[in-house]
């Protein structure tokens, strides 16, 4: 164990792992991750930087970004590459992180002991050269959770920009037809007779992406009822983020009930 590891609390490690799994977070999101004030989050980030556990820079609009260094990854036992988040993906990374924070912040999610498995973790388990769509995240509901959807795995997609209807529908079909875990043998990806990996796909959409996602879902036939569409959290915007403490709930589209009636209390 390194010297820096001895001075870290469990909250430090949990925060660093969260940041690493999301590629990076902005400082206002770090405050939400740690459940502290923005001032305290800045102090924590400064301490991590002093220990060479995290890097920080202003990469785009809004607060500075924080990512985990090689030393920080080693302390947490992670084998990801130590690089700042890609500039071209900043808006998407922020949106996905906002979705994760909104879901993890609900009482139903916590009481069910649900857990998030992000795209970076999914990608780490895949063989080099294998190409298929990875969801932005998965939500896993334990078998013994006291909810109607116990045992289910949901695919999570944050949609900021408009794709074509055909491309969006193809991704939905791929998510809903997959049977094997990511990184499984080719024959297990879609294995006849096996239950689908994702009981449902949850799409969190910007106003720009909503029409395409809605039309793509309508084209799926019977599988359309396994796709749910919600608004992105209000904190998802890259520029001028909502101040810490503002509600970040995921909003159901008008006229559409939440999954299972009250999915996770969202």
Sequential DSSP letters for 15-57: HHHHHHHTS-EEHHHHHHHHT--HHHHHHHHHHHHHTTSEEEE
pLDDT for 14: 96
Residue 242: closest CA among 31, 6, 2, 34: 31
Tokens 């396994």 locate to 226
Is the pLDDT assigned to residue 248 strictly greater than 80? no
Mean pLDDT in residue range 10-37 = 96
Residue 42: closest CA among 105, 14, 96, 54: 54
CA angle, 102 then 9 then 64, to 5° = 50
Tokens 């910007």 locate to 206
pTM of the model: 0.86
User: Helical H runs in 135-266?
Assistant: 165-177, 186-189, 210-218
Mean pLDDT in residue range 45-70 = 96
Q: Average per-residue pLDDT in the chain?
A: 88
Q: What is the pLDDT of residues 214-244, one digit of tens each?
A: 999 999 999 999 999 999 999 999 875 445 4
Phi and psi at residue 65, to the nearest 5°: -100, 150
Q: What is the pLDDT of residues 169-221, one digit of tens each?
A: 999 999 999 999 988 888 888 889 899 999 999 999 999 999 999 999 999 99
Is the pLDDT assigned to residue 253 strictly greater than 80? no
Is the pLDDT assigned to residue 5 strictly greater than 80? no
pLDDT for 127: 65
Is the pLDDT assigned to residue 73 strictly greater than 50? yes
Mean pLDDT in residue range 77-91 = 95
CA distance 18 to 33: 8
Residue 106: closest CA among 254, 256, 250: 250
CB 113 within 8 A of CB 264: no
Lowest mean pLDDT among 19-23, 117-121, 203-207, 239-243: 239-243
pLDDT for 183: 82
pLDDT for 262: 33
How far is the CA of 222 from the CAs of 133, 174, 194, 214, in angstroms?
22, 15, 18, 15
Query: For residue 65, how many C-alpha atoms fall within 13 Å in the half-sphere facing its CB?
Result: 26
What's the token pair of residue 52?
Answer: 């060479």
Is the pLDDT assigned to residue 254 strictly greater than 80? no
Is the pLDDT assigned to residue 157 strictly greater than 50? yes
Say what percent of the chain tops pLDDT 70: 86
CB 78 within 8 A of CB 54: no
Domains of the chain: 3-85 (1.10.10.10), 91-265 (no CATH)
Mean pLDDT in residue range 147-166 = 96
pLDDT for 132: 80
């Amino acid at each position: 164990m390194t010297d820096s590891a001895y001075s870290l609390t469990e909250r430090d490690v949990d925060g660093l792992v969260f940041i690493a799994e999301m590629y990076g977070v902005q400082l206002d999101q770090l405050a939400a991750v740690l459940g502290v004030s923005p001032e305290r989050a800045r102090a924590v980030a400064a301490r991590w930087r002093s220990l060479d556990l995290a890097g920080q820079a202003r990469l785009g609009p809004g607060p500075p970004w924080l990512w985990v260094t090689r030393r920080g990854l080693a302390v947490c036992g992670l084998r990801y590459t130590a690089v700042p988040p890609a500039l071209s993906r900043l808006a998407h990374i922020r949106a996905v992180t906002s979705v994760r924070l909104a879901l993890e912040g609900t009482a139903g999610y916590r009481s069910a002991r649900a857990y998030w498995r992000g795209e970076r973790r999914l990608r780490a388990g895949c063989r080099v050269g294998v190409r298929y769509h990875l969801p932005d995240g998965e939500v896993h509901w334990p078998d013994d959770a006291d909810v109607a959807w116990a045992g289910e795995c949901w695919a999570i997609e944050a949609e900021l920009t408009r794709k074509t209807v055909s491309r969006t529908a193809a991704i939905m079909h791929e998510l809903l037809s997959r049977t094997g875990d990511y990184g499984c043998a080719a024959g297990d990806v879609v294995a006849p007779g096996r239950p689908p990996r994702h009981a449902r796909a949850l799409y969190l959409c910007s106003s720009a992406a909503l029409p395409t996602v809605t039309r793509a879902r309508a084209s799926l036939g019977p599988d359309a009822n396994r796709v749910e569409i919600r608004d992105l959290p209000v904190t998802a915007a890259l520029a001028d983020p909502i101040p810490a403490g503002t509600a970040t709930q995921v909003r159901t589209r008008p006229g559409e009930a939440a999954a299972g009636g009250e999915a996770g209390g969202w």
